[in-house]
Amino acid sequence: MDALVTPSLEPLIEALRSVGYTVVGPTVKDGAVRMAEIWSAEELPAGVGDAQEPGGYRLTERDDDMVFGFAAGPDSAKRYTQPPRQTLFRMRDQEIEEVEPEAPRVALLGVRACDLAAIAVQDRVFLGRHPDSAYRRRREALFLVAVNCAVPGGTCFCASMGTGPKATAGFDLAITELAAPHRFLIEPGSERGAQILTAIPHRAAEEDDLAAAQEVSRTAATRMGRQVDTTGIQDWLPAAHDHPRWTDVASRCLSCTNCTMACPTCFCSTVEDITDLSGDVAERSERWDSCFTLDFTELGGTPVRGSALARYRQWLTHKFATWYDQFGVSGCVGCGRCITWCPTGIDVTEELSCIR
């Protein structure tokens, strides 16, 4: 099926809901563009933009009705592929109860190219040598509606990482929002995506529509707020073990873990055992953790990375260099969230430039 054009996303949302998907899309919540369940296209953030910088995020008003006129917000698809907390099993009166992993049918509307790349990274981690059956079920239940990014944020650098701004793979549908007149060009990326499109009133995309969509992605690629030179990074970054910049950045790092929580590819987790007040029921849960926490580095009761310097160096080196050794790709997709949501404004692109 070829690309089509529709003036509204309302039929798409209705079509997805009619086949049993919970539609999750961008909404304005808590002073940011957050991903949440939506029932109508009217809930999309029309006329909303954002301004992002190291350690800073604020919403802005646009002078149009574009509904995707902002950069990646704090939420990524990770929340739906690897939930922040999940119960593994429960023990009641000395009997073990298996807990069925939750795998809701969710249609994520507005997934950026950088986040599609992050999902591909997670697929390598969780579906590779040691497949995670719960992750597989959640992935299979996800329907991905990508949006080709038109407005990169001040901290974005996906073009440097080769992951955006145009979505090229890994989606069921890909939308490009076009102006004058306001319309949406939608391309299918899977058989089930094409099936959904048959239920949407539309017209076939014309040459002008396709050219306008290409221009959106071309222009976005030239407006990245940041850039990184990754040439030879697998070699020079691990070799910079004793660079003085590590001491400088460690003096600014709070080890708060914001960067790893917002990162769409960080997947560190830990397990917790909780007993209720009666003592009859115990539960083991898995929750997100971070390599920035001191306890996470414990081996044999002793932290192996006892300083913020050691933990930051390990994180940055793993993310941009040794991740290649493990998974064959970079662990960074250039979304810029770690820069925006760092309370002290640590900028990985600046740190890499100084260390290089």
315-347 pLDDT, tens digit each? 999 999 999 998 899 999 999 999 999 999 999
**C-alpha closest to that of 310 among 253, 228, 229, 264:** 253
Task: Please determine, for residue 185, whether its predicted confidence score (pLDDT) is greater than 80.
Answer: yes
188-197 pLDDT, tens digit each? 999 999 999 9
67-122 pLDDT, tens digit each? 999 999 999 999 999 999 999 999 998 899 989 988 999 999 999 999 999 999 99
| Spatial CB neighbours of 241, under 8 Å, sequence gap ≥ 6 | 313
| Spatial CB neighbours of 85, under 8 Å, sequence gap ≥ 6 | 285, 286, 287, 288
The pair phi, psi for residue 255, each rounded to 5°, is 55, 35
For the chain, the average pLDDT equals: 96
Say what the pLDDT of residue 232 is: 96
Say what the pLDDT of residue 31 is: 96
Q: How confident is the model at residue 1 (pLDDT cuts 50, 70, 90)?
A: confident
Whether residue 7 is preceded by a cis peptide bond, meaning omega within 30 degrees of 0, is no
For β-strands 281-288 and 85-92, DSSP reports them as antiparallel
Collapse the DSSP code of 288 into the 3-class scheme (helix H, G, I; strand E, B; otherwise coil) and give the result: strand
The 281-288 sheet, strands edge to edge: 95-98, 85-92, 281-288, 269-275
Tokens 């997709």 belong to 333
Per the structure block, which two tokens stand in for 320? 């941009």
- What is the Cα–Cα distance from 297 to 292, expressed in whole angstroms? 8
- What is the Cα–Cα distance from 16 to 22, expressed in whole angstroms? 8
Say what the pLDDT of residue 189 is: 97
Percent of the chain topping pLDDT 90 = 93
Residue 246 region, left (φ>0) first, then alpha (ψ -120 to 50), else beta? Answer: alpha
Q: How confident is the model at residue 253 (pLDDT cuts 50, 70, 90)?
A: very high
Say what the pLDDT of residue 300 is: 86
DSSP string, 213-239: HHHHHHHHHTT-S-----TTHHHHHHH
Question: Alpha helices, DSSP H only, in the chain?
Answer: 10-18, 78-81, 113-126, 133-141, 158-161, 191-197, 207-221, 233-239, 245-252, 258-262, 308-317, 323-327, 337-340, 348-355
Which has more pLDDT, 38 or 295? 38
Task: Please determine, for residue 174, whether its predicted confidence score (pLDDT) is greater than 80.
Answer: yes
| Spatial CB neighbours of 84, under 8 Å, sequence gap ≥ 6 | 287, 288
Per the structure block, which two tokens stand in for 268? 């560190």
pTM to 2 decimals? Answer: 0.95
